[in-house]
Structure 1
Amino acid sequence: MMRALLWLIAMFALAAGLAIVARYNDAYALFVWPPWRLHISLNLLAILFVVAFSLAYAATRLVARALALPGAVAAYRAQQRKNHAIQALRDAQRFLVEGRYGRAHAQADAAYRAHESPGLAALIAARASHAMREHARCDEWLRRAAEHDREVRVARLMTEAEFAVADRRFDAAAERLDALREGGHRHIAALRLSVQTAAARGMWGEVLRLARQLASHRAFTAEQAAPLIRRAHLESMREYEGNPEALARYWRQIPRPERSDRGLVRDAALLLNASGQGAVAAEAISEALDAGWDSALAELYGRIEGGELIERIGHAERWLRTQPRDERLLLSLGRLCLQQQLWGKAQSYFEASLSIAQTRAAHLELARLAEQLGRNEAALKHFRSAAELTAG
């Protein structure tokens, strides 16, 4: 506001100044063009000069604008086309996320034809085509995306790897992931795909390495990493089933934190026991139970054969002091006493287990013990009870 006021005052001052100068200016201009003469006031000549200059300037600007109009219209239309292409690309991304794959493909195709981020548009169209199970069209879009590898090479390789995993073409997925690694791209999404690919190809050592790496980078939670690590160890152990010593060595070289996985301990103990490494299996279960109680493992402890039975019975009886009403532990103690041929003690533990919970397993163990001792009526009674529990 103040600035406009100052300009107004300045204009009035200039006008007043010019009026005073013009009042006292008696000069004139003479133009001669024989036989004519023209006398004109110098003030009027100045005014006519200013008016003529203004008209000439305006005419020049008008002609320049008219000549530039086709170019301006072309630039405007080009900008409009670019804006439409950008909007088409954005819509394609939105429709893809929304699951509207047909619309996503149409918008991505429009953006590609308008040369707006053609590599990205081709990848969006490829994802939409793959989601619609149109594999030939998907391959064509991937081929087009490859023509713009300077822009989207990593994105294209990741997309191709994802498609290969989804279609269970794991060798092809491994090729794409290897190409990413060679380029120095080891980001989390690629590592996750590598885990799936390695597991599908039975490369359990690689699965183990990648799962540990992802867990260390916090890309996997402990709950997500544990099943992968467990399966990798178990599948690796199955490769040594014909070599009991190698199987036991493999178990012992597993890091202690990973050996605390109860599921791994259970399945590994069964493998070790089946291979004649019962002592190692019993040691694994003992280690796990000492770290934290698990009734299912306590029951499995009694089914493991081998090792120093007296020492194992003593270990289980120490657990019984802290878990006196665990029917599975009592059942396990009875089975250990049976292996050691402590018939009376075995019977006592089985009956103690039944006093806490009526289980089919305890009745069957008592039935077998009674048969072994020639107590046929007692054996029949327990077999009948086990059958009733099964039917119930």
Structure 2
Amino acid sequence: MKWLLWLVGLFAAAVAVTMVAHNPGYVQFVFPPYKMEMSLTLFVFVLLAVFVLGYLLVRMTFVTLNLPEYVRSFREERAASKGRTAMMEALKAYFEGRFAAAEKAAVRAMELGENSGLNPIVAARAAHEQREFDKRDAYLVQAEGKSVGESTMRLMAKAEFLLDQKQPQSALNSLKELSDTGMHKHVGALGLELKAQQQARNWDAVLEVMTQLEKRNAIDKVVAVQMRQQAWLEKLGTQATDLPALRALWKAIPNDIKRRSKIATVAAQAFGRLGDCESAQHLLAESLNAQWDSELVTLFGECHSDNNIAQIEQAERWLNQHTDDAGLMLALGKLCMHQKLWGKAQSYLDASLSLKTSRAAFTALGQLAEKMGKQEHALAYFQKATQVQ
């Protein structure tokens, strides 16, 4: 199709040239006393030639006048292209783990006039990975005064660096500065805040940040449960200074967390230390009824009151379902011994040893023998307890 159009155009041009060549017309110029005549065909060709030459002359004049600006723009564009290339090299090297190369490429990009705030941030991160903290801080200073998005990158990077150096309060200050800029806390910032609050041991704040992350579905459920448990364990260990405080704290713990063995263990020990064995027994029974734990049930036999009959009855009900649990036998033996039921105590402790050899069972048997006046037996049991690994 294309060759056909060229053929038609060629024939049309040939016809036009033929018609012009046989045109009898002419053009006359009169400027007394002079007069000049030429054929119309020649006049048309001359006119076209003058027009073309004039156009070329004007174009050359404009190009000549704009040449310095063109050269300057060309150089700037070439430098910008080299800067972008260097920035991409820096990013590639950083994510490949070649931190020294990443830093050099980022610095080269800045020297070439690449003004993106990404370059000083990449250089700072690369320097941080190389433990060159003075250079890192200098790069962060270069990243100041940029756009909101680039300031966010700087503050996020600064917070990460401070957390790596175990400076949680300074990291929290950086995150607060990020919030003060009007930037809504995104998932990444919340994750850093969670880590900072954990390092600072601000457990109430940890629970609050965890709630925000869970609302955004930004944390694995299993991890969330473990972190919540750890926060409540720390609170039980540091804030349970007296019975009113401990009771208020225990009331605030969610029910699903209360029933977990580690939480119940620490809480029961805290209540026991403060002399509230009744609360300790109650929470242990609730936890064991929700989820059986052989290690936790041994603690049930540690906290005694003046009358342990109710405890013994509860433990014997569990025994109907857990007939081969050494920990339960040990707990029953201790409860019966405290209640001065020597025969039952001996039976339960012997049963515990038959299921599992333990230092605690031998020690309890030694204590029982002492109470019964059997000093030689007691000494033998205590010696066996020391031999258990």
State if a TM-score over 0.5 links the two structures: yes
Counterpart residue number, 2:288: 289
Q: Are 1:104 and 2:97 counterparts?
A: no
Give the equivalent residue in structure 2 for 1:26.
24
2 CA distance for matches of 1:205 and 1:122? Answer: 36
Q: 1:80 to 1:176 in 2, by over 3 A?
A: same
Indicate conservation of the 8 Å contact 2:259/2:291, yes or no: no
Please tell me whether the aligned partners of residues 123 and 156 of structure 1 are also in contact (alpha carbons under 8 angstroms): yes
State the number of aligned residues: 388
Q: Is the 8 A contact 1:350 1:365 kept in 2?
A: yes
CA distance 1:270–1:217, shift in 2 (3 Å): farther
Partner of 1:298: 297
> 1:163 deviation in Å?
2.0
Equivalent position amino acid for 1:140 in 2: A
Tell me, which stretches of 5 or more residues in structure 1 are unaligned?
none
Q: 2:168 corresponds to which letter in structure 1?
A: F
CA contact (8 A) 1:96 1:128 kept: yes
What do residues 208-246 of structure 1 show as CA deviations (whole Å, max 9, x unaligned)? 222233234332223323343233323333344441232
SS of the residue 1:148 aligns to: coil
Matches within 5 A, 1:366-377: 366-377=365-376
Normalized against structure 1, the TM-score is what? 0.88
**Cα–Cα, structure 1 residues 130 and 49, in superposed 2: closer, same or farther, change >3 Å?**
same
Measure, in 2, the Cα distance between the counterparts of 1:160 and 1:235.
Answer: 28
User: Which residue identity lines up with residue 96 of structure 1 in the other structure?
Assistant: Y
Q: Which residue of 1 aligns with 2:154?
A: 156
SS class of match (2:27)? strand
Give the distance between the partners of 2:45 and 2:224, measured in 1 at CA. 90
Change (3 A) 1:116 1:325: same
Q: Which residue of 1 aligns with 2:117?
A: 119
Shift of 1:255: 1.0
Distance in 2, matches of 1:309 and 1:221, equals 43
Trace 1:302-317 onto structure 2 (pairs within 5 A): 302-306=301-305, 309-317=308-316
AA matched with 2:201: G
Per the alignment, residue 319 of structure 2 pairs with 320
Change (3 A) 1:236 1:387: closer
Give the stretch that moved more between structures: 332-341 or 234-243: 234-243
Q: Which of 167, 170, 174 is matched with 1:169 structurally?
A: 167
Aligned to 2:126: 128
**Matched residue SS, 2:388:** helix
Aligned to 2:237: 238
Shift of 1:247: 0.8
- Choose 157-166 or 326-335, whichever is displaced more: 157-166
Whole-Å Cα distance in 2 between the matches of residues 59 and 351 of structure 1? 116
CA contact (8 A) 1:95 1:101 kept: yes
Distance 1:262 1:181, change over 3 A: farther
- Is the 1:279–1:307 Cα contact (8 Å) retained in structure 2? no
SS at match of 1:40: strand
Q: How does 1:1-392 map to 2 (within 5 A)?
A: 2-3=1-2, 5-20=4-19, 22-23=21-22, 25-31=23-29, 39-150=37-148, 152-182=150-180, 183-306=182-305, 309-390=308-389
Instruction: Give the CA deviation at 1:149.
Output: 4.8
Please state how far the C-alpha of 1:121 moved relative to its aligned partner.
1.6
Gaps of 5+ in 2: none
In 1, are the aligned partners of 2:121 and 2:143 still within 8 Å (CA)? yes
Shift of 1:53: 3.2
- Per-residue displacement from partner, 1:252-302 (whole Å, max 9, x unpaired)? 221112213322222222222112122222222222221122111122222
TM (norm. structure 2) is 0.88
Label 1:52 to 1:8 Cα distance change in 2 as closer, same or farther (>3 A). Answer: farther
**Retained in 2: the 8 A contact 1:126–1:141?**
yes
In structure 2, how many angstroms separate the alpha carbons of the residues matched to 1:222 and 1:259?
Answer: 17
How far off is 1:85 after superposition? Answer: 0.6
Counterpart contact for 2:307–2:339, Cα < 8 Å: no
